[in-house]
Amino acid sequence: MEVRLNKFLSEAGVTSRRKAEKLILSGKVKVNGKVVTELGTKIDPEKDVVEVEGKVVKPQRKRYIILNKPCCFLTQLGKSQDGRRTIEELIRDIPERVFPVGRLDYNTEGLLLLTNDGELANRVLHPRYKLPKVYLALVEGRVSPKTLKLMKRGTELEDGFAKPDDVRVVRYEGKDTLLEITFHEGRKHIVKRYLASFGHRVKRLKRVALGPIKLGKLSPGKWRELNRGELAQLFKAVGLKYPPKR
Ligand code: URA
């Protein structure tokens, strides 16, 4: 199947799609020995030989990984500007150029999906597929049955109405409450803002599931490959077939 040259270069881990266009325009990319500067060029990854600055580019195998992000790591690749640690150092042993699908806050822990499959990533993030994200939230104060009822109904936040798919008390921990809360939307700081609007500040937040994928017993700071069964479920949840015909 033919793909656009810039898409091939980004999926092969050479660079981002936009920077790949610049590479093409600057005459550094050859297809079957000939310099190509036409941005719309399509190639067949099975047949055509692509070179960047004299080096042959091979298609990357698709990787689908979950990381148990610990507290106090930024969800970004590369170095941060302010010296805070980033998840990059936790995934150094993955040779492919995987990128995080969505974000967790600096101090949020738990399940982060990483992949080099742009199509899957787009769908996981797309509101149309309503993938539920399940969080454990340790909040200040004891959540009363009355407040819990109100939490289930939804409320107006400064950027519009928000309503969790589900919220329940897991247990009380001294003066605090451990809640399990599920949202399918991905607005910034949604869980913290939602719970704070009921007067319960989040002290600790951990994502434990993303659609059919569960964090399970993966240790903080560790990653693992998703297995075929998990991938089949995840692909199905976003309307794709597994294994992908790409
Ligand atoms: N909601 C938050 O408030 N923070 C996260 O990291 C994820 C969801």
Domains, the chain, ranges and CATH? 3-57 (3.10.290.10), 64-128+212-237 (3.30.70.580), 132-210 (3.30.70.1560)
Q: Beta 64-69 vs 160-162: how paired, if at all? A: unpaired
Q: Ligand 1 centre from 33 Cα, in Å?
A: 48
- pLDDT value for 111: 98
Please choose from 72, 75, 104, 134 the residue to mutate so as to test ligand 1's pocket, defined by most ligand atoms within 8 A of CB: 104
Q: Ligand 1 centre from 190 Cα, in Å?
A: 6
Q: Is the peptide bond before 100 cis (omega within 30 degrees of 0)?
A: no
How many Cα atoms occupy the beta-carbon half-sphere of 201 within 13 Å?
3
Please choose from 69, 74, 105 the residue to mutate so as to test ligand 1's pocket, defined by most ligand atoms within 8 A of CB: 105
By the 10 Å C-beta count (0-12 exposed, 13-18 middle, 19+ buried), 243 is classed as exposed
The one-letter amino acid code at 60 reads Q
Name residue 157's beta-bridge partners.
160
How many Cα atoms occupy the beta-carbon half-sphere of 13 within 13 Å?
16
User: What does the pLDDT profile of the chain (246 residues) look like in tens digits?
Assistant: 899 999 899 888 788 788 899 999 999 999 999 999 999 999 998 899 999 999 999 888 899 999 999 999 999 998 999 999 999 999 999 988 899 999 999 999 999 999 988 889 989 999 899 999 999 999 999 999 999 999 999 999 999 999 999 999 999 999 999 999 999 998 999 999 999 999 999 999 999 999 999 999 999 999 999 999 999 999 999 999 998 765
Q: Is 83 left (phi over 0), alpha (psi -120 to 50) or beta?
A: left
Which residues line the pocket of ligand 1, CB cutoff 6 A?
104-105, 108, 189-192, 205
Residue where the block lists tokens 């091939």:
8
Q: Ligand 1 centre from 72 Cα, in Å?
A: 13
Residue where the block lists tokens 């597994």:
242
Which tokens is 85 given? Answer: 């640690």
0.85 surpassed by pTM: yes
- Mark whether 93 is an active-site residue: no
Which tokens is 179 given? Answer: 């809640």
